[in-house]
Structure 1
Amino acid sequence: MINEATLNQASAAAQFALLLWPGNDLHEFVQNMEDIINNPNSSVFLAFDDEKPVGFAQCQLRFDYVEGTQSSPVGYLEGLYVEESYRRQHFAQHLVQACEQWAKTKGCSEFASDCELSNVDSLNVHLKLGFTEANRIICFTKKL
């Protein structure tokens, strides 16, 4: 079962976010999830096995240019995580479909995502979920 997260579920979503992006602060992630849940241009979905949360997806609208797209806004998958023991059971697929449906209700005709060049597992999941690779880039920074 997939549900759009409520404020009462922000902590559960934050715990999955911490697994996806380790090294961050759980308290900050809880606040971040609350902000996302309260924002009409973003959403968090939770996957459940009975009543146990087993994964999450975070999505939002992006109004700036999104690589490979031709419209605005674009629905954007910001994060996706499913507990290892629940993978390959279509939870990720259902989470992404919920995000895509949410984006459609916001007027989007395109949906996008990204992953690091070295993250082959994420690349493979994206391809299995129906995404098409749009481009590969390397970003640079310089201290001034």
Structure 2
Amino acid sequence: MNVRQATQNDARVTGELALLLWPDHAAEELAGEFSELIGNPEAAVFLAFDEEEPVGFSQVQLRHDYVEGTSTSPVGYLEGLFVKEAYRQEGLARELVVRAEQWARDKGCNEFASDCELDNEISLQVHLALGFTEVNRIICFTKPIGEAR
């Protein structure tokens, strides 16, 4: 297995992997978003390969706003992590996160954070196994107040 930082040439393949994580999006939309992220100095994407086959990715960004449970800024934030099912339990997620953490340290971060949905028990277990500590649980609310009702 090989893990490396993504380049612009990897935007489409990263978008295809991301579609497996976020299936409610369009492949072209995700490829465009990853193209922007890869070109952004405050973001990075790391790809895992089995020879030539892309099998996983991590996406990290700097967050300058308040991040729940942290006390410094900026914070490296794990925005996305995915490994194809056939390659899970082999240490790839850990390697992808280690690379994201190192990138964040190199950008001056002293803290690294992430999140998951309240009902995503698999993601919770993965985060805990990767050394994250749960710091809070929230439920967000919204209601229309304008003409869009």
Give the TM-score normalised by the residue count of structure 2: 0.95
What is the Cα deviation at residue 26 of structure 1? 0.7
Structure 1, gaps ≥5 residues long: none
Counterpart CA distance in 1 for 2:90 and 2:52 is: 16
SS in 1 for 2:20: helix
User: Is residue 2:103 matched to residue 1:102?
Assistant: yes
1:61 corresponding residue in structure 2: 62
Whichever of the two has the greater Rg, that structure is 2
User: Is residue 2:24 matched to residue 1:19?
Assistant: no
1:132 corresponding residue in structure 2: 133
Give the TM-score normalised by the residue count of structure 1: 0.99
Per-residue CA distance 1:109-140 (angstroms, 9 max, x = gap): 00000000000000000000000001000001
What is the Cα deviation at residue 52 of structure 1? 1.4
| Number of matched pairs | 144
> CA RMSD, aligned part only?
0.6
Moved over 6 A (4+): none
SS in 2 for 1:85: helix
What is the Cα deviation at residue 48 of structure 1? 0.9
Map of 1:46-85 to 2, 5 A cutoff?
A: 46-85=47-86
Structure 2, gaps ≥5 residues long: none
